[in-house]
Amino acid sequence: MNVPQGSKIVVTTDERGFPKYVLPMSSNGFLRIFPAIFLVAWLGGWGVGEWRVIRSLFEKGTPAAGASAFEVFWLIGWTVGGIMALLFLLRLLRPTVPETLVFNSSSLDYDGGCPPFKYDSNQRQGEPSFRTLFPTRVKVSLTLPQIRTFRLQDGRLTVDIGIERKEVGVGLTVVEKEWLFETLKTRYSF
């Protein structure tokens, strides 16, 4: 089956000669620049504040000699805030890695790639936000029973990996997802 006209899906072969489908991720490259610039400037001020309070704590030669309880409390909160801001900056600047599917003879190698940062104001209440902010990269070899869990419903292509339902092809159009689903069904006879 040929890739749909105008599709950005790239079909190649891996080092073992199996078909490899590279599924592009959407990009929000320019929109992440402004928050990143703000965070760099904020972290500069954060570093100065951190340094000044630490210096005042050790000013008299011994730790906490002239420190007030507020300065210690402030330093702890300020440090945690700076670490969180640094992690968020790293997430903003983390490069996007496309998803890949390698069609082996009896399995399917799936690499979930690394999606770009995306703020979703429609995120369900109670969904773990740390996982959505810092997603882990999924690399798994799917067996035939797992491959048969692929579903295309309401424009979403999903597969069950253990107890998790993973969306595949998040950067694809609905037509590309339909084509990919049909390709999977044809290749693995389900």
DSSP 49: H
In a domain, 5, yes or no: no
Same domain flag for 177 and 83: no
Same domain flag for 84 and 106: no
Same domain flag for 75 and 118: no
Same domain flag for 156 and 183: yes
Q: How many domains does the chain have?
A: 2
Q: What whole-number distance in Å separates Cα of residue 173 and Cα of residue 171? A: 7
Nearest Cα residue to 96 out of 163, 173, 28, 161? 28
pLDDT mean over 21-34: 83
pTM of the model: 0.76
Domain with residue 160: its CATH number is 2.30.29
Same domain flag for 22 and 116: yes
Same domain flag for 111 and 146: yes
Same domain flag for 69 and 118: no
Q: Residue 53, CB half-sphere, CA atoms under 13 Å: how many?
A: 17
Same domain flag for 154 and 176: yes
Provide the pLDDT for residue 37: 94
Same domain flag for 115 and 173: yes
- In tens, the pLDDT along 41-56 reads 999 999 999 999 888 8
Same domain flag for 180 and 150: yes
In a domain, 105, yes or no: yes
In a domain, 71, yes or no: yes
Residue 39 pLDDT exceeds 70: yes
pLDDT band at 7 (very low <50, low <70, confident <90, very high): very high
3-state class percentages of the chain: helix first, strand second, coil last, to nearest 5: 40, 20, 40
Residue 69 pLDDT exceeds 80: no
Domain limits at 62?
33-93
- In tens, the pLDDT along 88-136 reads 999 888 888 999 999 998 899 999 998 887 766 555 555 556 666 777 8
Q: What whole-number distance in Å separates Cα of residue 150 and Cα of residue 108? A: 12
pLDDT band at 186 (very low <50, low <70, confident <90, very high): very high
Same domain flag for 67 and 84: yes
Sheet strands side by side (includes 19-23): 10-13, 19-23, 99-103, 108-111, 139-142
Nearest Cα residue to 28 out of 86, 91, 85? 91
Distances, alpha carbon 114 to alpha carbons 15, 35, 97, in Å: 22, 19, 5
In a domain, 167, yes or no: yes
Same domain flag for 64 and 150: no
Provide the pLDDT for residue 120: 60
In a domain, 178, yes or no: yes
Q: What whole-number distance in Å separates Cα of residue 117 and Cα of residue 84? A: 15
Q: What whole-number distance in Å separates Cα of residue 175 and Cα of residue 9? A: 12
Helix (H) and strand (E) counts in the chain: 5, 8
